[in-house]
Structure 1
């Protein structure tokens, strides 16, 4: 608590420094103060693009890549995930084919990548604290920013970097447009999409409002072949499955901006996204066991009802020779999901058994934040200081049900099995101080951020409740340097410390039977956060008036890594084996049984165990081919190569689920005389590997090819046809499965499985009309 007290005292001192002066500056305009309002961008320029859009070259001191919506729009992305997949170093490992939900910068797990909306944190669906970027429709977005390194005035939990989703706002846009489209999938399914955006002057300021509706449909086929070991000499079982995800997203955003007095500006914004989805699975399995053929019909179903919404207000005004900012934000995520799976088994054609399982998830995650900051001249530099306050409340209930039939054809009637509930509360008070300045060709930024976390975890399992509290703090320094060697050449260097808080499921002390092979798992609410010291060194060169090429080297040295460890306590299954041996009279006591039959499976937990390293190189190119006399041809390419080193219970490996590389390349050809254009985009993601107790998986994704053709009618209407997944990409997984760690070390297999899921191409026709 002493650390929290120190942070509170510092926060109060910053507050006094802000509110004590009462004289408002009328003419002072330090860096960051308001400029005159620019002319809003006309939305018809977004609808009917007169020229090809390229990656922006930003003036930020810290390394930032910025991409306007127009950069992605020709390929008609449906969601932010469809946009982000094209930026350097963005991978999606674990996502189903043709879906892009949990983004991973530098290939690190989703929890290492911070996702911001309008520069602010939002709660999400992932247990690893990740936000699924496919929840935000592309039509709500102004631009996507890739923040490669931390600054003191942003939350520090971004070890791999941050994705900032900047929504359209009334200050930047003017006009109205309508978007109407239809999607056709390879199985003949047809779905509509609709959106409208309008912006203009109202209520003494400017207002922008947008609504969007789109059907989300994915159909895929999956094949699994399971063998006794990797020699594939003995086929144990196989499974064919067809899965259909059929749903609809509703979304809207609202922005209001008004000038207040001579120096003030008030901004209010909000967004709402609702996802309704039905998932159906139909599987047929065939298993071979001692000469018997066991077939199973396995129907499955899930219903998903998720909501993301947030509202915020920001007020900036000149004060005491500087600029003061007040922010208040509230964001919430809600999830009500129901999953069921049945299995009807037949042995040599005769009914054997029918079983079913059901899981109900009721989750909510709410965050309330407040920010007070002040920026002012400090000699030849600019000083900024402030404090961020954030309160999070995450509550999840998992209710498990089961059914076993007595006779063939018995109706499924679920009975309660296990109820696991958790409540996590976190309170953060994060003061910061930073300076920036420069001279001639060199600009710099240096800062300190002191992040504190007060955490309370409550877990309930079948009526038993456990509460644990923990607090910790971390000092996060950062330094950014930028050299403009020439008007075209720039070198940047960033040194910054960052933090990754434990995954939510790692904190919950609920015991899960058989979570890893025969091994059990229990969370550890006493975990410390991981921290990382990072370096980014980049070079950027302007090509002509619109092109840019860049290369960036990065390194992260991560401490306090969280990995699975053996508690030394036997698993519940092992306890049951010993009890059965005693009940059968083979041993007189549990102690004798334990001595005669040593444990082979255990209770595992998460712990801070050591260090890890991540490093690699990122390259990006975005330019017209003007030097070849092809002003109307634009090319885009980026490539990231990533390596890492981690030690676990088996030795050295990469970070789990880290794609080795990502590669994007494409072109757009504009035909001005025909008022038309066309283009292609190709994407390839490298293999990823995951090793945990009882299982090792290699994940590979096939090549992804997209194309578009566009025709423009005057300055107000465009018609665009896009085609996705033209190469019928697949997701291929190779599983090595073991019952115990001893078996894993000895390579004594429980099962070796090859699984492939694939989907066909989809087509979209979209008409945009500006009015």
Structure 2
């Protein structure tokens, strides 16, 4: 089942063309590829037969041909790229950027995260060095970005509802769409935008290929990678199957220095750490499509990803305390066992003068990971204490969805209407264990230290209607989506139920998109849309977390309302020659009902304990006094999350993708994008930017092809600006070093290619600056608990890959 963004021509009667607003977009005419006109027709037919709503759609040939010649695209054109691939210029009315796998493939990305780091406005803050998991469009937190697979929502690991894009291998992907604004026929959870990861499908490809490679890391570790894809006629239709197995390894070194304050006058402690992430990812995807009757088309697709990994840490810590030296050996192990899988089915057929589609999907994320850490302390060279903590996670996050949509002509326009049903169930429990040694050398024997869990169920029923059309050079699309949400939150702690809270809320989400074709080469897009961001899961759970923010406690608020935003995108795009494209986009988001930390006014558990102790001392020193004579100033409080106010986000995104033909270099492609990002929000200390929003990000690169040698080489350079975040009791600035990647390849005929690529050639580091406080008063008064500098590096890596088509 293929869900992307299309704008195709529908010809329900001979010689009559009707404009229709489809929900996704075929890759458009690209002169740099073989059979370009045929491929353009093929993509139109793919969208017309597989999807329910969009632009214009044409009659599909009865044999399912996708290239005008009766055959789908041959996979050998993917394996052996004789020409440079550029960013696609889609025909969508709404602002969409589309990138085929071939756009990224020369640099041999391992995951979707490796691909996304090269697209405009995409930042990664919080990811370890050389890792790209939580994608942040416009620099907003990952939870503001909607991630879809084949147009469908998928559950992920993040409490902020984010999906870790490094879970999907690059080899499973056909193309990636960046949807900058929302439309009525998609979920409105896209305040920053939407990433649609479209996997390869049977209808579009034919043939088979193998991918075999090996990675070498800076510490000498070697890891293999393997992938295979095959597609062809089967079972009365077309079938595609792919598998991918890759060892995932990352070794890094980390150094932390902790001082009394930013002046670094007194060193409190330091830590050296070696970390190794060593594991294997298994993945597979399958796609089947078949024609049924005169107008029906059935499509079924599924994917499976399993992450099996051990994260090993060994730290050496030294702390200075009033002349004493406390050394600690801190080994830790985090076995990761996670699975993502999903299956979907779609059926499209002509009905009542239009086209109807029914979609069903099921997806699940499952996490059975654990984490444990020991600490063995030595005071002035002699053993002093040993203790350990462990935590096991048991999480199941399930999404079930159904969609019924109908599209039909309405006068000179096109009408699409439908209804989306979605049910989400997230069941998570954390089991904690602890141990403390009585003497040196005692074996670690964990005892149960508590269990906390939650069950969150959300049910949505979202009707929508969308109208589109065109008048001369102006094309338009407008729609309304009404999202209804019923949320049930339950939690338990140590076997005791914490009760159940129900919360219902509804949001009306209008959208409008205008596209003005100024000329055949130039167009201007304007989009207005209202979007929504539902609360993070941990913000909804009313369980007390002791000392969550320094000495301050935290309790969730299940009655939170979602954040909403009115957004505008204004874009200009121009074709450069036959293959190039340049664009600039301005965006603005006016965010309401922002969710921030607030003080409940209640004391923390530590404050209650301190009150009891201090009162006892006061009464002992003052015989005859009573409690009413005692005064106490708490230093820590109970905080929660609340809808507190408004915020704004704005920025400019520029991208260029073009051959240098005008400079006499037709076999050289230049790639450049730059994004300037800004925002404003108020919190307990005043104004700041949205947490973790980088100030800018840019990529620049080139690919040069040498046809006479059947060889190519290229390089890409990426730089991301600093990011700042402020929460209760902690403020952090994050800096990432610049990233340089290069590749060289040799092609052998039409069926074999060998490519050597290198990443992180500048040995970039991730540097973090932590300002830590015990409580809010200390934070406001700048009374530091400690100031920490932390840096990590992972060294360059190299990859040798061979692809063979057959």
- Please give the TM-score of this superposition, normalised by the length of structure 1: 0.96
Q: Once the 2 structures are TM-superposed, how far is the Cα of residue 264 of structure 1 from its aligned partner?
A: 1.0
Partner of residue 38, structure 1: 66
Q: Secondary structure at the match of 2:160?
A: coil
Alpha-carbon distance in 1 for matches of 2:563, 2:628:
41
Find the aligned partners of 1:592 and 1:148 in 2 and give their Cα distance.
Answer: 61
**Matched residue, 1:267:** 299
Report deviation, 1:593: 8.5
Instruction: Kindly report which structure 2 residues correspond to 1:40-119, keeping only aligned pairs within 5 A, or say none.
Output: 40-119=72-151
Aligned position for 2:347: 315
Q: Which of 510, 516, 520 matches 2:543?
A: 510
What are the superposed Cα offsets for residues 150-184 of structure 1, whole Å, 9 maximum, x if unpaired?
A: 00000000000000000000011010000000001
- The aligned residue for residue 566 of structure 1 is 599
1:161 aligns with 2:205: no
593 and 61 in structure 1: CA distance in 2 versus 1, 3 angstrom threshold: farther
Which position in structure 2 is the counterpart of 1:556?
A: 589
What residue number does 1:540 align with? 573
Matches of residues 361-760 of structure 1 in structure 2 within 5 Å?
A: 361-465=393-497, 466-584=499-617, 586=619, 592=627, 595-760=630-795
Structure 1 portions without partners, runs of 5+: 1-24
Cα contact 1:67–1:145 (8 A) shared by 2: yes
1:343 aligned residue: 375
Which residue, out of 138, 142, 148, partners 2:174?
142
Q: Deviations over 1:174-218 (max 9, x none)?
A: 100000000010101000000000000111110000000000000
Are the counterparts in 2 of residues 518 and 601 from structure 1 also a CA contact under 8 Å? Answer: yes
Aligned residues: 747
SS of residue matched to 1:576: helix
Distance in 1 of aligned mates of 2:452 and 2:615: 31
Quote the offset at 1:38 in angstroms.
Answer: 1.5
Tell me, yes or no, if the aligned pair for 1:179 and 1:769 is still in contact at 8 Å: yes
User: 2:568·2:589 contact (CA, 8 Å) conserved in 1?
Assistant: yes
Distance, in Å, in 2 between the alignment partners of 1:127 and 1:176 is: 39
Distance 1:282 1:590, change over 3 A: farther
Question: Considering only aligned residues, what root-mean-square deviation do their CA atoms show, in Å?
Answer: 1.4
Output one character per residue of 1:422-446: Cα deviation in whole Å (capped at 9) or x when no partner.
0000000000000000021110000
C-alpha contact (below 8 Å) 2:120/2:674 kept by paired residues: yes
Match of 1:22 in 2: none
After TM superposition, give the deviation of residue 230 of structure 1 in Å.
Answer: 0.7
SS in 2 for 1:492: strand
Unpaired stretches in structure 2, ≥5 consecutive residues: 1-11, 23-47, 50-58
Distance in 2, matches of 1:476 and 1:416, equals 47
Mean CA deviation greater in 470-479 or 459-468: 459-468
Q: Corresponding residue for 2:159?
A: 127
Q: Give the Cα separation in 2 of the matches to 1:287 and 1:213.
A: 43
Contact 1:107–1:642 (CA under 8 A) maintained in structure 2: yes
Deviation of 1:586 (Å): 4.0
8 Å contact from structure 2 (residues 619, 626) kept in 1? no
Change (3 A) 1:143 1:230: same
> Per-residue CA shift, 1:689-733, capped at 9, x if unaligned?
010010000001000000000000011000000000000011000
Give the distance between the partners of 2:146 and 2:215, measured in 1 at CA.
31
TM-score, normalised to structure 2, is: 0.91
Aligned pairs for 1:170-249 (under 5 A) are 170-249=202-281
Shift of 1:262: 1.1
Contact 2:618 2:630 in 1 (8 A): no
Is the partner of 1:596 in helix, strand or coil?
coil
- SS of the residue corresponding to residue 88 of structure 2 reads coil
| Partner Cα separation in structure 2 for residue 464 and residue 275 of structure 1 | 33
Q: Helix, strand or coil for the counterpart of 1:159?
A: coil
Q: Per-residue deviation at 1:666?
A: 0.3
Q: Is the 8 A contact 1:582 1:590 kept in 2?
A: no
Aligned-partner SS, 2:368: strand
> Is this contact kept in 2: 1:242–1:283, CA < 8 A?
yes
* Shift in alpha-carbon separation, 1:525–1:595, aligned structure 2, 3 A: farther
Q: CA deviation at 1:581?
A: 2.7
Is the contact between residue 26 and residue 318 of structure 1 (CA under 8 Å) also seen in structure 2? no
Q: Secondary structure at the match of 1:673?
A: helix
Equivalent in the alignment of 2:184: 152
Q: Deviations over 1:393-421 (max 9, x none)?
A: 00000111111111011111111112110
- In structure 2, how many angstroms separate the alpha carbons of the residues matched to 1:487 and 1:107? 33
- 1:284 maps to 2:316: yes
Aligned with 1:578: secondary structure? helix
What is the aligned partner in structure 2 of residue 330 from structure 1? 362
Q: Which residue of 2 aligns with 1:253?
A: 285
DSSP-derived class of the 2:369 partner? strand
* Deviation at residue 628 of structure 1 after TM alignment: 0.9
Q: Which moved more, 1:159-168 or 1:32-41?
A: 32-41
Write the deviation string for residues 234-269 of structure 1: whole angstroms up to 9, x where unpaired. Answer: 000000000000010000000001111111111000
CA shift for structure 1 position 50: 1.3
* Alpha-carbon distance in structure 1 between the residues aligned to 2:730 and 2:201: 47
593-602 or 547-556, which deviates more: 593-602
**Structure 1 residue 577: Cα displacement:** 1.2
Report SS of the residue matched to 1:411: coil
Give the Å deviation of 1:584: 4.5
Contact 1:26 1:262 survives alignment (8 Å):
no
Paired residue for 2:28?
Answer: none
Aligned mates of 1:699, 1:596 — CA distance in 2:
42
SS of the residue aligned with 2:268? strand
Shift of 1:541: 0.6
